[in-house]
Structure formats: C-alpha cells, structure tokens
C-alpha cells in the first residue's frame, strides 16, 4: 500500500460560541490542510491517484465550503446575530473547532475518492504551531 499527500491552504473566519475567552469573537486563520490517501498503484497510470484529481476533490469539498467563509455553529444565537450577513457562511452542526472541521472533512472527502483509494490521514493547521490530526485506524 502506497500513500500520497496533498497540501492545500484556505482562508476562513470562525467563532467558538461558548468559549470562555477571545475565541468566542470572530477571528480568522490561514488554514493549512494535509490530506493523505492510500491504495495500490494503478498498473496503467503508475499512481495511487493523480495529485490533480485529489486537488479537484478538495476544491469541491473543502475549498468550496470553507475558503473565505465565516464558519459558525448552527444554533439559535448565531442564526439571530448573523441573519442579515450577506457574506458566505458555512453552518456546522457543532462548534467549528479544528477537530470538528476535520470530522466534517472525514465524512465529505471519501465519497469522491476513486475505488480502491482510502482516506488515511488529515492534518489541519489552524496556526503555525497548532494543528489537529485525524488518522484512519481501520486501514
């Protein structure tokens, strides 16, 4: 089994609604995401999958939803406060922490992967020194 990793970046703002500090305010990050997939090498292409194809999958899943968006928990308070906001909002069922964003990605990316290719690892950097990681423990 061989793995390949694609790195992407996106800009987004969020707030953690019930956080007892400054993260309850709207603030932004330059997120850096590393996506690792694995599979057998295709005998015709000599690749697990084309990096270009993985980038396109990340464009239509992660980038389309999160890049230059305000990411908020879908709750009554946020709906009331941001009801007149005309910009891009991505509503999440949980607080938009790095951990919860990863779980959202874990459910969104795999359906777009080619047969025989599986999501193995995600690493989401919120800042240069802070990141969350998800690993596939089933193989």
Q: Which two tokens stand for residue 18?
A: 């019930």
Span 67-122, pLDDT tens digits: 999 999 999 999 999 999 999 999 999 999 999 999 999 999 999 999 999 999 99
- Residue 56 belongs to domain spanning: 2-135
Q: Is 95 a catalytic residue?
A: no
DSSP SS3 for 79: helix
Q: What is the CATH number of the domain that holds 32?
A: 3.30.479.10
Largest CA distance in the chain: 55
Tokens 């090498």 — which residue?
41
Tokens 């707030």 — which residue?
15
Instruction: Give the contacts of 134 (CB within 8 A, at least 6 positions apart).
Output: 102, 103, 105, 106, 121, 122, 123
Question: Mean pLDDT throughout 20-42?
Answer: 96
Catalytic choice (29, 34, 99, 126)? 126
Q: What is the mean pLDDT of the chain?
A: 96
Tokens 């270009």 — which residue?
52
Catalytic choice (23, 29, 99, 112)? 23
The lowest-confidence range among 16-20, 62-66, 126-130 is 16-20
**Number of domains the chain is built from:** 1
């Amino acid at each position: 089994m061989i793995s390949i990793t694609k790195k992407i970046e996106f800009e987004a703002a969020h707030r953690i609604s019930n956080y007892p500090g400054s993260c309850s305010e709207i603030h932004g990050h330059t997120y850096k995401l590393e996506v690792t997939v694995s599979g057998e090498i295709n005998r015709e292409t000599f690749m697990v999958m084309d990096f270009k194809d993985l980038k396109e999958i990340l464009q239509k899943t992660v980038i389309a939803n999160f890049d230059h968006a305000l990411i908020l928990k879908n709750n009554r308070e946020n709906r009331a406060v941001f009801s007149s906001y005309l910009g891009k909002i991505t509503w999440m069922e949980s607080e938009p922490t790095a951990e919860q964003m990863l779980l959202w990605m874990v459910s969104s990316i795999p359906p777009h992967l080619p047969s025989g290719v599986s999501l193995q690892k995600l690493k989401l950097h919120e800042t240069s020194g802070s990141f969350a990681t998800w690993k596939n423990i089933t193989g």
